[in-house]
Amino acid sequence: MQLAVDSQDAAEAQYHVARPPRHDWTLEQARSLYGAPFNDLLFAAHTVHRRNFDANRIQISRLLSIKTGGCVEDCGYCSQSAHHASGLKASKLMAVEKVLDEARKAKAEGATRYCMGAAWREPKARDMDQIVAMIEGVKALGMETCMTLGMLGDDDARRLSKAGLDYYNHNIDTSERYYNAVITTRTFQDRLDTLERVRAAGMKVCCGGILGMGEGANDRVDMLVTLANLAEHPESVPINLLIPIDGTPLAGAARLDTIEFVRTIATARIMMPRSFVRLSAGRTEMTDEMQALCFFAGANSIFAGDRLLTADNPDSDADAALFGRLGLSPMALDAPETEHDR
């Protein structure tokens, strides 16, 4: 597919950048976009990104595991699954004040969104009072809140929303076709149902996937089509690079080609122009040059801090050095309106 991107105006015409985001992508259109000449794809993605966001500001989020290990799901990439011999021991739900202490540290280091994750299939009624207290406490610090607790029923979704939860994370992980090769204990539709409940309860959606699990390029594109064709695009789209973990079924997965990862970021930016596209797990395996390409292609959010749930992450000094080299700055919580809002 040769894209008409000899100028910014041509790129905007090609992708209808000035119009409301699309929700009617066909697989053929998206696959052709993903497979376009690399320079053309990046030019188009950056055009879309610059039209909707400040291209030199990055949203900083922090992720904390508030309950680790012992999950009954069998997600093939996850060290926290009770099905896998990863050596990770299960822990109890963290005390509220400990969570708030960590949130205060994150805010002091520049994070504007605080994400809390529990290794559950779904939250239990006995834990909801603590969960609500965590949400209310982090909100009181002036930070955005996000949680990932597994599947949600209607009552739990409404209670989280009433507590003031801003975002709920529930990734679809991969394409519907490839899904059963990675997870068998819940269905692709189960995940979509939870996303619908989150929306119905009035919360924002954080939903993306994991690359490098043995899927093909078509699976990566099909995943993005599923997200882009939702009635509302996810406000946050985390794109994870698999971290192979000993003891999990995907421990021996081959490393994904860098260009393929960047193509996915660029395609996500074009298809969901107003969403935050986040570089999530796997940044320890990315060179500075790879991350720079991703930022140019439209990624504008990262997780900061040296731990992501149970995985390593670049420390704050490494991120500060990278931002300095690239001329990037953290995005304020009350960042100015983007052009599409004016």
Q: Is residue 9's pLDDT more than 70?
A: no
Angle between helices 258-271 and 38-52 (to 10 degrees): 40
Residue 338 lies inside a defined structural domain of this protein: no
Each residue's pLDDT tens digit, 48-99 = 999 999 999 999 888 888 988 778 887 878 877 767 766 667 778 999 999 9
Q: Is 207 among the residues known to form the active site? A: no
Distance between CA atoms of 222 and 27, rounded to whole angstroms?
7
Q: Is 78 among the residues known to form the active site? A: yes
* Identified catalytic residue from 113, 278, 283, 294: 278
Each residue's pLDDT tens digit, 236-283 = 999 999 988 888 888 889 999 999 999 999 999 999 999 999 999 888
Residue 19 lies inside a defined structural domain of this protein: no
* Identified catalytic residue from 62, 206, 220, 283: 206
Query: Any residues with CB less than 8 A from the CB of 277 and at least 6 apart, and which?
Result: 237, 239, 265, 268, 269, 298, 299, 300, 301
Each residue's pLDDT tens digit, 17-29 = 446 789 999 999 9
| Degrees, nearest 5: CA angle 267-270-276 | 95
Q: What is the pLDDT of residue 39?
A: 96
What is the H or E stretch that residue 204 is in? strand 204-206
Mean pLDDT, all residues of the chain: 88
Residue 18 lies inside a defined structural domain of this protein: no
Q: Is 294 among the residues known to form the active site? A: no
* Identified catalytic residue from 31, 51, 62, 78: 78
Q: What's the whole-number mean pLDDT along residues 315-339?
A: 79
Q: What's the whole-number mean pLDDT along residues 220-231?
A: 98
Domain that holds residue 279: 38-330
Residue 23 lies inside a defined structural domain of this protein: no
Residue 301 lies inside a defined structural domain of this protein: yes
pTM higher than 0.85 for the full model? yes
Place 299 in a pLDDT band, splitting at 50, 70 and 90.
very high
Please tell me the total number of residues recorded for the chain in this structure: 342
Residue 176 lies inside a defined structural domain of this protein: yes
Q: What is the pLDDT of residue 82?
A: 65
Q: Is residue 338's pLDDT more than 60?
A: no
* Identified catalytic residue from 31, 51, 113, 146: 146
* Identified catalytic residue from 31, 62, 75, 220: 75
Residue pair 12/42 in contact by the 8 Å Cβ criterion: no
Each residue's pLDDT tens digit, 158-210 = 999 999 999 999 999 999 999 999 999 999 999 999 999 999 999 999 999 99
Q: Is 186 among the residues known to form the active site? A: no
Residue 16 lies inside a defined structural domain of this protein: no
Q: What's the whole-number mean pLDDT along residues 289-304?
A: 95
Residue pair 144/276 in contact by the 8 Å Cβ criterion: no
Residue 3 lies inside a defined structural domain of this protein: no
Q: Is 278 among the residues known to form the active site? A: yes
Q: What is the CATH number of the domain that holds 58?
A: 3.20.20.70
Q: What's the whole-number mean pLDDT along residues 307-312?
A: 55
* Identified catalytic residue from 31, 51, 113, 115: 115
Number of domains the chain is built from? 1
